[in-house]
Amino acid sequence: MRQFLKSTQFKIFVVVLAALFGGTVLAAVGASNTSPWTAAVGTAFAPLQKLAGRASEKVQWFTDGFASARYYQIENEELKEILAEYEHRLADYDEVKHKVASYEEMLGVKEANPDFELCPANIIGVDAADLFSSLIIDRGSGDDVQVNDPVVCGNYLVGVVKKVNPSYSVVQTLLNPSLNVSAIESKTRETSYVTTTALLSENGQCMLAGLDRLTAIAPGGLVLTSGIGGIYPKGLIIGTVAQVLESEHDLTSYAVIQPGADIAGLEDVFVITGFSGQGVEQITD
């Protein structure tokens, strides 16, 4: 054993391990959360991952044409149900149209937010071990993307940049329990924070936590970013309230939220690399 510990092989092992630990320490103290070793490997690997992502999309489109007759039968039945539902909804079309118009007016898009600096990005991969749907995008520090930049799809919040490399970044989505977003419910103007749990995340949902037991928030309400904290701009749509439940742990309630962005099906996103008030902690009364 002592002979093995003195061997060249063991010394090489210790040197490599020390170098990896050094890289991890550098990643922890650096602004990009990336070690030089991962950056080097990632820079070479990111273009391959981008190609693989595109190839996967093409193959998916091609294989969809080979679905079985049984599949089409099921799909047909599902479509009939959807059609019936839409016919029902058509009756309320005018009202919905009015609502949509008011939402658009209230929330706006980029025209209403001229201060937004947007960087378009493609999703090129995912982390198989991350249980909460983190995404790899093909934009990095070379495109002015930084850690904590918000990521959106249209007006919908997707998540935040967690790790940045020169040519790619890793995004933590709303379905990650460690992500907290200060939020406001549009109708009642109640403010709190959006997070999730493992159970909700499995269903693709998050929650507006820490609400009063007598909250006036009701299903159908729209949850937006409040802008508090300076990480997310004010007014991005997080999702709609699906139901309001009482917490099992304390005397609060929480609203289960269906995110507006279809995180599992996203292909393209925008990174907000700059906005008015970014990094400035806002104080409310």
Partner 1 sequence: MRFTFEKERFFRRLAFVILIVVTALFQHTRGVMPQIGAARAWLLVPLVAAISLRETNVAAMLLGTLAGLLWDFASPSMDGYYAILFCILSFVTGTLASFFLRRNFTACLLVTAVWLVLTGVTHWAFFIALGGMDHAVHILLRLELASCVYTFCFTPLYYFIVSGMDGLFRREQKPI
Q: Tell me which of 136, 183, 222, 256 binds partner 1, using CB under 8 A.
A: 136
**Total binding residues for partner 1 by CB under 8 A?**
54
User: What is the distance between the alpha carbons of residues 203 and 22, in angstroms, rounded to a whole number?
Assistant: 38
Q: Binding marks (x or -) toward partner 1, 93..132, rule CB under 8 A?
A: ------------------------------x-xxxxxxx-
- When asked if residue 186 is in the footprint of partner 1 (CB under 8 A), the reply is no
Residue 53 or 274: the one with the smaller Cβ distance to partner 1 is 53
Q: Tell me which of 139, 140, 143, 162 binds partner 1, using CB under 8 A.
A: 162
Of 40-48, 114-122, 212-220, 252-260, the window that binds partner 1 (rule: CB under 8 A) is 40-48
Count how many residues are written for the chain: 285
Task: Find the shortest distance in angstroms from Cβ 19 to partner 1.
Answer: 9
Task: Find the shortest distance in angstroms from Cβ 254 to partner 1.
Answer: 12
- Residues in region 215-254 near partner 1 by CB under 8 A: none
As a three-state string, the secondary structure of the chain is CHHHHCCHHHHHHHHHHHHHHHHHHHHHHCCCCCCHHHHHHHHHHHHHHHHHHHHHHHHHHHHHHHCCHHHHHHHHHHHHHHHHHHHHHHHCHHHHHHHHHHHHHHHCCHHHCCCCEEEEEEEEEECCCCCCCCEEECCCHHHCCCCCCEEEECCEEEEEEEEECCCCEEEEECCCCCCCEEEEECCCCCEEEEECCHHHHHCCCEEEEEEECCCCCCCCCEEEECCCCCCCCCCCEEEEEEEEEECCCCCEEEEEEEECCCHHHCCEEEEEEECCCCCCCCCCC
Contact 266, 159 (CB under 8 A): no
Of 35-43, 64-72, 100-108, 276-284, the window that binds partner 1 (rule: CB under 8 A) is 35-43
Amino acid (1-letter code) at residue 166: P
- When asked if residue 23 is in the footprint of partner 1 (CB under 8 A), the reply is yes
Residue 73 or 197: the one with the smaller Cβ distance to partner 1 is 197
- When asked if residue 52 is in the footprint of partner 1 (CB under 8 A), the reply is yes
- When asked if residue 214 is in the footprint of partner 1 (CB under 8 A), the reply is no
Q: Tell me which of 33, 182, 226, 273 binds partner 1, using CB under 8 A.
A: 33
- When asked if residue 21 is in the footprint of partner 1 (CB under 8 A), the reply is yes
User: What is the distance between the alpha carbons of residues 178 and 183, in angstroms, rounded to a whole number?
Assistant: 15
Q: Tell me which of 45, 180, 191, 258 binds partner 1, using CB under 8 A.
A: 45
Residues that bind partner 1 (CB under 8 A): 4, 9, 12-13, 16-17, 20-21, 23-24, 27-28, 33-35, 37-38, 41-42, 45-46, 48-49, 52-53, 55-57, 59-60, 123, 125-131, 134, 136, 162-163, 165, 168, 170-172, 176-178, 197-199, 202
